[in-house]
Structure 1
Amino acid sequence: MGFEVADSNNEWHNILQTCRNSSMEVDITRVYICSNVSAIWVERNTRIFQKKHRPPQLVMVRILEDMKLYIQRVVKDIPDSTSVRVLLQNLGIDAYYHAKEPIYYQWRKPDPDYVKLNTDGSLTPSDQGFGGIARKEDGTVHFAYMGSNSKRSILQQELLMRG
């Protein structure tokens, strides 16, 4: 059950870095960390003050039960994404997922003898990309492009998107 940690300071540093982000996955990770720390602390106190030892499997079951209760009682609106579904499935937690409503836009053609460039970009915790399409007034495509980079910066995505 579990694995050995050679450098716990480094592990905690990585955990705290992860928890600085803002997403449903990070929120669930925070709950998981809090449940673990709480269960370990309760187990520690039980061993020291009551001289009782519970098997690690029982402590793990308690952690998962605490997480399930928290998510069912507190988290009412879980966005539907593959990463959240996989995370909750791995933890054995059933949840109601809220699908995002699409936003529809209509292309407005440019003035005669002009080409209009429409751009878009996306930055999520797991992926990033940008693209654009240039069209003439009749809607024919003059050129199109798309790409991604390893930078996790909205500003850089915007600058790349705008050329």
Structure 2
Amino acid sequence: MAGIELIWLLPVIVYDFYQRRVPNWLVLAGAVLALTTLSLGQHPLGVVWSDALVGAALGFGFLLLFYAVGLMGAGDVKFAGALGLWVGWQGLLPIWMAASLLAAMHSLLWLALQRWPWFPRLAVALSGRNKASGTETSRKRVIPYAAYLAIAAAIWIIWGQQS
């Protein structure tokens, strides 16, 4: 029964959408929970140690390349590593594909609203800026990629439980 990992994904989604960051304590909590379930032999998704560790390494390592060239925040990278502990290496590709599709739609909508400002509040929300206070989130990140990874992971987890 999947549940604890879904509960962990919810604050990741909220933090990343509203603050464009994922706090270290939240990433660490998810990693510790995953490692605990693995060590107790009670991993809710049936992932084994080797798959989880490879998933963590792949999740972290692959997104580290995007961070190195300035396309992604460090929180996204750390979250992907912790997520790999939950879903194993097998779950990463479909989750990355779905998250990237969601991020692309976010980006295209944001770009369209920059060109044709029909919905200025939506454009501000998509950009991560708080128009009322005039403040912007750190490093002007527009795409909350960790949130989209978490949404895609939740869908993958729930869909996997149905079959």
| TM-score, length-scaled by structure 2 | 0.28
Structure of greater Rg: 1
Higher relative contact order (CA 8 A, sep 6+): 2
| TM-score, length-scaled by structure 1 | 0.28
Structure with higher helix content? 2
